[in-house]
Amino acid sequence: MKQVVALIAAISLTTAVALAAPRKSAQSASPPQAASAPASVFTPRTVKSAGTVTVEGHKIAYDAIAGTIIVHPKGWDDAAKPRGAKDAIGTADGPPVASMFYVAYFKQGADPRTRPVTFLYNGGPGSSTIWLHMGAFGPVRVVTSNDSHTPPAPYRTVDNAYSLLDASDLVFIDAPGTGFSRIEGKGKAHAFWGVDQDGNAFASFITQFLSKYGRWNSPKYLFGESYGTPRSAVLINDLETGRDIDFNGVILLSQVLNFNLMADFPQANPGIELPYEIELPTLAATAWYHHMLGSSQPADLKSFLEQVEQFAMGDYADALAQGASLPEDQFDAIAHKLHDYTGLPVAYIKKADLRVSGPQFSHQLLSDSDQTAGRLDTRFSGPTMDPLGEDAQYDPQAAAISSAYVSAFNDYARRSLRYTTDLAYYPEIDLWWKWEFKHQPPGAPMPLPGAVNVMPDLATAMKYDPSLKICLNGGYFDLATPFFQGMYEMQHLQIPAKLQSNIEYHYYQSGHMVYANEASLKQLHDNVAAFIRRNSNQAGQ
């Protein structure tokens, strides 16, 4: 029995954190493990090109650099000399090493000492940064359908009128093992695939990048999406307290800092009711979008969600806290209220004991039409894989857009960036069972087991540098990292009350990948660009 419980808990954690990369199925691609990467992969490389993009009416000429930077695990002696074959970098028996692929865009003619620079990454863990690069802020954007399946190739790419190049230079980074990034050496997986190991790798990359391109005096920003948000919390604390590098701001998209709050499998963590409460506004937004609220369908989404939020943290939270002692009349009243907000049948809600997980909701909401609602973006729907199942079997949004992103980037990297290589580009790799989720928060003597919670890391960074600004962004239709979770986490950071004013909030009628909706992409661009301009010395732009 203990083994079964442990397995359920492990599944709940590892499945829940497969966040940022749109997955086509439960079986995501894994890199071949038997073959070693060529030693040349672990030699730094740069390939230069140039282009122009017009952003909100202003033409920007830029230089692009696609390349690699070599990073090592924590404790690496950069003055050490190889003493034999077993010390050779890039060999299976040598020390662990990572070659991290990036694409940097620099505005031509700008002073690098004062021009802002933003480091961007997706999450997963196990995701490349193809999504932010080709969907949000790179100078070229792939066009996908708004809430339905994008037809197959040829896919259309356009100059990105919402690129962040009008406000900042951009560096898109692929995590170790993803994209064109590779790892090698003895113990390579343990060295790079874990919460703290990953943070160290990114900190090492950024430190080297600042030296390589003379950006030490630039205003600096982190931009993380999904698992990229806990990465940012770990990373900003590492940079500030461990490397004496302050940043001007941290931009968070589709946030999850405390994994105990996730909506994917809360039933595996009985007694913790917050996930059900925090996901409820997203369930309501989804029912609103698909017109499942009947005659009570409200006209205005924002005011409707404010009402749902109050119910979620009030009457609903009180009912769940009572557990089996909840009186029957209150049980019935809460079930009918949940029906009004989610569109789910009262009988189904009662059978679920007032507790419906995200995957159950995705499967059930549109079941009368044999459709499954999305997880990353619940505006999307697709044919149900198993009509008799309990949970959603796949994510319709992932199926709808992934091919377009992957095909467009592979073509763009080779044609426009001129980055020719025989390496395969891994948009995502399966790290669910390989990732080390132990994390050593500030002040702890050792890495701690259990669900990851990096709220202390971000809080420590904000207290260590009281001028650090935070920009939180979320989509109303995101069931992977519900928008209300990010708000809850921020409002429960252990920081002085006055530092709460350093946090700003922005929400959009889109999903996990806010930029998949073009109208929301424009709003996202405008909000983030304004955030960067407010918190930077803009001389030299």
**What integer pLDDT is reported at residue 541 of this predicted model?**
44
What separation in angstroms does the CA of 116 have from each of 130, 170, 220, 298, 468?
A: 22, 9, 6, 42, 15
CA–CA separation, 377 vs 463, rounded Å?
Answer: 34
User: Which position has the token pair 């990297």?
Assistant: 413
Q: Kindly state the tokens that stand for 129.
A: 């940064």
Of the candidates 159, 66, 158, 59, the one whose C-alpha atom is nearest the C-alpha of residue 109 is 59
Q: Counting every residue, how long is the chain?
A: 541
3-state secondary structure of 25: coil
**What integer pLDDT is reported at residue 384 of this predicted model?**
81
**What integer pLDDT is reported at residue 386 of this predicted model?**
80
Q: Kindly state the tokens that stand for 426.
A: 């891994």
Q: Kindly state the tokens that stand for 506.
A: 């922005």
**What integer pLDDT is reported at residue 1 of this predicted model?**
32
pLDDT tens sequence for the chain (541 residues): 333 333 333 333 433 434 544 444 333 444 444 345 565 899 999 999 999 999 989 999 999 999 999 999 998 877 776 666 677 787 888 899 999 999 999 999 999 989 999 999 999 999 999 999 999 999 999 998 877 788 888 989 999 999 999 999 999 999 999 999 999 999 999 999 999 999 999 999 999 999 999 999 999 999 999 999 999 999 999 999 999 999 999 999 999 999 999 888 888 888 899 999 999 999 999 999 999 998 889 999 999 999 999 999 999 999 999 999 999 999 999 999 999 999 999 999 999 999 999 999 999 998 888 888 889 999 988 888 888 777 777 677 787 789 999 999 999 999 999 999 999 999 999 998 899 999 999 988 998 888 899 999 999 999 999 999 999 999 999 999 999 999 999 999 999 999 999 999 999 999 999 999 999 999 999 999 999 999 996 544 4
Over its C-alpha atoms, the chain yields an Rg (Å, rounded) of: 23
Helices (H), 82-194: 130-132, 188-192
CA–CA separation, 417 vs 408, rounded Å?
Answer: 12
Helices (H), 383-517: 396-415, 455-464, 483-491
Cα atoms found within 13 Å of the Cα of residue 73, Cβ hemisphere only: 20
Domains and CATH numbers, the chain: 2-25+263-396 (no CATH), 44-259+402-534 (3.40.50.1820)
Contacts (Cβ under 8 Å, ≥6 apart) of 467: 246, 502
Contacts (Cβ under 8 Å, ≥6 apart) of 418: 47, 49, 66
pTM of the model: 0.92
What is the maximum alpha-carbon separation in the chain? 76
CA–CA separation, 229 vs 245, rounded Å?
Answer: 19
CA–CA separation, 21 vs 28, rounded Å?
Answer: 10
**What integer pLDDT is reported at residue 32 of this predicted model?**
45
Of the candidates 114, 110, 120, the one whose C-alpha atom is nearest the C-alpha of residue 218 is 114
* Strand-pair partners of 182: 99
CA–CA separation, 69 vs 47, rounded Å?
Answer: 12
CA–CA separation, 408 vs 349, rounded Å?
Answer: 43
- The separation between CA 103 and the C-alpha centre of its own chain, rounded to angstroms, equals 18
3-state secondary structure of 251: strand
Beta carbons of 230 and 452 less than 8 angstroms apart:
yes
Q: Kindly state the tokens that stand for 481.
A: 């990292």
